[in-house]
Chains A and B, each alone.
Chain A
Amino acid sequence: MEKIDPTFIREVAQISGTIPSRCYNCSACTSGCQFAHIMDKKPHEIIRLVQIGLKNEALAASGPWICVGCNTCSMECPNAIDIPAVMDAIRAMAIAKGEIPEKDIYNFHKEILGSIKRYGRTHKLEIMMRFKLVSRDFFSDMDLGVRMLSRRKLHILPSRIKGVRDVRNLFKKVG
């Protein structure tokens, strides 16, 4: 069995600025979540793993990566735990550890950030094309892409800001 890491909860509390020890596991968060059914560990289970110090298990879970941060769970939570902030903290720890359980979702975020770094704004067409290359999924959504292009929902050229250097400087740490 995995070794318990008693410092895990403090680490999460510090990064997230919320207090996971308040959770009494009523699972209201999971009940309200639109995507809990595709998570291996659901929101209330993630909080429980944090409470009992099963760090490796929490960091290897897909839940924090599937979470889109819609805040429905934190609205439901009777103890006002900022659950998406806990998910943010766990993702940050998994990235620091270099073991990312949901590579394609991570790659998608990286493509968005890469676009912001290059232009200061997001360029959706390029993001989609690069994401497809990285995930080696060339054919799904081709028809959708064509429909979006023909309806001018995807722009061919990016919109580039003048202060792109300012924005690039912000990325020094992330790379």
Chain B
Amino acid sequence: MKCDVKPIEVTWFPGCSMKTSAMENHESFKIFCEAIGIRLIELPDWNCCGSSSAHSIDQELAIDLVARNLALAPSGRPILTACPSCTLRFKEAHHHLMESSEARIRFRKQWGVPFDPAKKVMHFFELIDGMDISAFTPGKKPLAGLTYAPYYGCMLARPPKLRNQKNFHGLLEKILGTLGAKAVDWKGHNKCCGTFLSVARPEATTEVVNAIVQSGLDSGAECLITACAMCQLNLEIRCNLKDQIPVLHFSEILTLALGKGKNTDQWFKRHLVDPKPLLAAKGLI
């Protein structure tokens, strides 16, 4: 079957990590989306979601920072995120605005437009769940022979008030499995990477990150594949084990699987653990 799909248009919220420290995540993500028929229209003049810091200091500010983005986004298409932290901040703010009439009044006053509940926030996984990515590589298993540890970090966790929403247990394994990759069973898949403690408590973060990477090594994984740009950064910069394995963004491996990698040297030189020997051995570059 030929895979001509009518592109799905989404408002794209990249967030600060994907735009700067994890540009390779962004570049590969854009290529992958184009290849599977998702048209990303970047939200013009978007601002930072507030990350871990806004809600840590001022909960109202955390809602307001997301609210500006919600107000800017055009109606009629979903807002797509790929950073688990941005996703959670957006979903919490959306939920708060749904629940509180006061918050909606405040929203209207601040932005001059009413809150539109139809502007749903969607993580990329929500969009590709149910899609058959292997249909884009007919008759081939491009990732055959690759053994990896799927790493979700805190992405699978959520506060009790969002418990009824969709979650993504096993999604990486499912999608990469259809492309031929083999996931290991390991104990690190949903362990927090430490986020900002990487700066404020580097030693404690190293302890935690080393345990995650070591567990991947012990389980026989050749690389870690992360769902989050921040996790990827922490796993690389704070690991000081003698033996290390590459940490790849999910978007990099998906794009390589589809054979669409372009200027991949630009992606890999941003990695602290060089993934090129592994990827070359698997015939992916």
Residues of A whose CB lies within 8 Å of any CB of B are 15, 17-18, 34-35, 38, 66, 68-72, 74-75, 77, 80-82, 84-85, 88, 91-92, 95, 104-106, 108-110, 112-113, 116, 120-122, 124, 128, 131, 140-141, 144, 147-148, 151-155, 159, 161-163, 166-167, 170-171, 173-174
- Contact between B208 and A173 (Cβ–Cβ < 8 Å)? no
| A17 surroundings in chain B (CB, below 8 A) | 161
Q: Beyond A68-B194, A171-B61, is A141–B202 a contact (Cβ under 8 Å)?
A: yes
- Contact between B48 and A120 (Cβ–Cβ < 8 Å)? yes
- Contact between B159 and A85 (Cβ–Cβ < 8 Å)? yes
Is residue B52 contacting chain A, with contact meaning CB distance below 8 A?
yes
How many of chain B's residues have a CB under 8 angstroms from any CB in A?
54
| B46 surroundings in chain A (CB, below 8 A) | 161
| A121 surroundings in chain B (CB, below 8 A) | 16, 19, 47-48
A29 to chain B, nearest CB (A): 12
Contact with A along B50-79 (1 / 0, CB 8 A): 111111111111001100100000000000
> What separation, in Å, do the CA atoms of A115 and B191 have in the docked complex?
28
- Contact between A92 and B61 (Cβ–Cβ < 8 Å)? no
- Contact between A109 and B157 (Cβ–Cβ < 8 Å)? no
B161 to chain A, nearest CB (A): 7
> What separation, in Å, do the CA atoms of A114 and B172 have in the docked complex?
36
Listed from nearest, the 5 A-B pairs whose CB atoms lie closest are A70-B154, A71-B157, A70-B192, A112-B53, A80-B160
| A174 surroundings in chain B (CB, below 8 A) | 57-58, 61
> What separation, in Å, do the CA atoms of A38 and B207 have in the docked complex?
11
A-B contact pairs, 13 of them (CB 8 A): A68-B192, A71-B88, A105-B201, A106-B57, A109-B52, A116-B50, A121-B16, A124-B20, A159-B20, A167-B47, A167-B68, A173-B61, A174-B58
